[in-house]
Amino acid sequence: MKEVPAWRRIPWPPLIYLAAIAASIVLELLIPLPRITGPFGNVLYAIGWLLIVAFVALWLTSFRAMRRAGTTLDPFGEPSHLLTEGPFSITRNPIYLANTLLMFGVGFVSGNWWFLPLAIMAAVLTQKIAIEFEEKVLAGKFGRRYRDYSKKVRRWV
């Protein structure tokens, strides 16, 4: 595998999501959006908790699958295995999907609607900065196996 530029070795995905979370909180303090109350607010609150539970499940099962396979957890490290089972049979990026679900869940539970557009922005940035790079690495290392897998399993959901 060829040398990765220094800027690519920064763990961008968690930093992107942390920045989006911080921006959501700051924006809510500076420009609070109206709260949704009543029965619809209660439904959104419940959906938020379901999304947070989905985050935990996806995150834990993804890391467990990666550890079992003995492959790297570093987004810019060289993978030793192509994971296609467990959460990787549903989405090619279960950890990034989990992070996005967490932001949506926290937005619904807290009533801070800034989390929603910033979650989408974090997902788009993660795709541009990390996922597209990871896909090139996987295609280079695993060739046809990865291309067949990517035809069957969607990038997000």
The 3-state secondary structure of the chain reads CCCCCHHHHCCHHHHHHHHHHHHHHHHHHHCCCCCCCHHHHHHHHHHHHHHHHHHHHHHHHHHHHHHHHCCCCCCCCCCCCCCCCHHHHCCCCHHHHHHHHHHHHHHHHHCCCCHHHHHHHHHHHHHHHHHHHHHHHHHHHHCHHHHHHHHHCCCCC
Global pTM value: 0.91
Mean pLDDT (the chain) is 93
Residue 117 lies in domain = 52-157
Q: What is the CATH number of the domain that holds 89?
A: 1.20.120.1630
Convert the pLDDT of each residue in 77-120 to its tens digit: 778 899 999 999 999 999 999 999 999 999 999 999 999 999 99
With bands split at pLDDT 50, 70 and 90, how would you rate the model's confidence at 5? low
Task: For residue 111, tell me if it sits in a domain.
Answer: yes
Looking at the structure of the chain, the number of domains it has is 1
Task: For residue 19, tell me if it sits in a domain.
Answer: no
pLDDT at residue 49, rounded to an integer: 98
Task: For residue 7, tell me if it sits in a domain.
Answer: no
Convert the pLDDT of each residue in 29-58 to its tens digit: 999 999 999 999 999 999 999 999 999 999
Task: For residue 127, tell me if it sits in a domain.
Answer: yes
Task: For residue 26, tell me if it sits in a domain.
Answer: no
With bands split at pLDDT 50, 70 and 90, how would you rate the model's confidence at 10? confident
